[in-house]
A = this chain, B = another copy of it.
Amino acid sequence: MVNPAKFDRQQVVEQAMLLFWQKGFHATSMRHLQQAVDLRPGSLYATFGSKEGLFREALQQYAAHGERLLAQLHAQEGSALRALQLFFHQAIIEQGGRAPSRMCLLAKTVAELTDANAELLAEARCQLKRMEQAFLRLLQQAQADGELASGCLPEQLAPFLQMQMMGLRAYMQMSCDPATGERMLQQVFMPLRVVPS
């Protein structure tokens, strides 16, 4: 390497991701991004090729962070079901005001983009499916551990959970009331509890 770049690529993607998360793809201009990551257009285009290229990496980084968090919660809690519940609580209640948006960046992207950005749309859909598969593995683990009512079907519950995650965060974006969020969260996880016989 003759003259290595002076910036940290991952840090740049992180900053860009936060801006995209806040404003969405179309409303985030390259000029905004250039200012946020303190790079001139030439460096950005040499590194990521295009606005789409930068956004793609932002999506991947966002999804990777989510998967990492879920695995970490599972590791530190031991219980798979409790990890899922904490993950939901974190996404919907705790990070509520601090994050750039109450909604999931992937869901926002699926909502905003069309076939005009087919590759980005496919990327977001794919990453959402990956999260759903992570849910599925945890549900199967929970059932094996007897945490989840044996009558439940994890293959049906995983999409249902993903759907409710998207719904909860979209609803919070609409109403912003943490009490309602907390209550709905309980309504989501109530039927998963094992009934004491």
Contacts and interface: CB of A to CB of B under 8 A. Distances in A.
Interface stretch (A41-49, A63-71, A156-164): A156-164
B116 A111 contact: no
Interface stretch (A9-17, A22-30, A51-59, A140-148): A22-30
Given A107-B111, A112-B111, A125 B23 contact: no
Interface string A98-142: 000001000110111010100000001100110000000000000
Contacts of A103: 111
Contacts of A175: 125, 129, 159
A159 B173 contact: no
Q: Is the interface of A mostly helix, strand, loop or mixed?
A: helix
Contacts of A110: 170, 173-174
Nearest to A180: B159
Contacts of A164: 163-164, 167
Given A27-B116, A166-B174, 10 more contacts: A26-B26, A27-B112, A107-B174, A110-B170, A110-B174, A111-B170, A112-B112, A125-B175, A159-B184, A164-B167
Interface of A: 22-24, 26-27, 103, 107-108, 110-112, 114, 116, 124-125, 128-129, 156, 159-160, 162-168, 170-171, 173-175, 180, 183-184, 187, 191
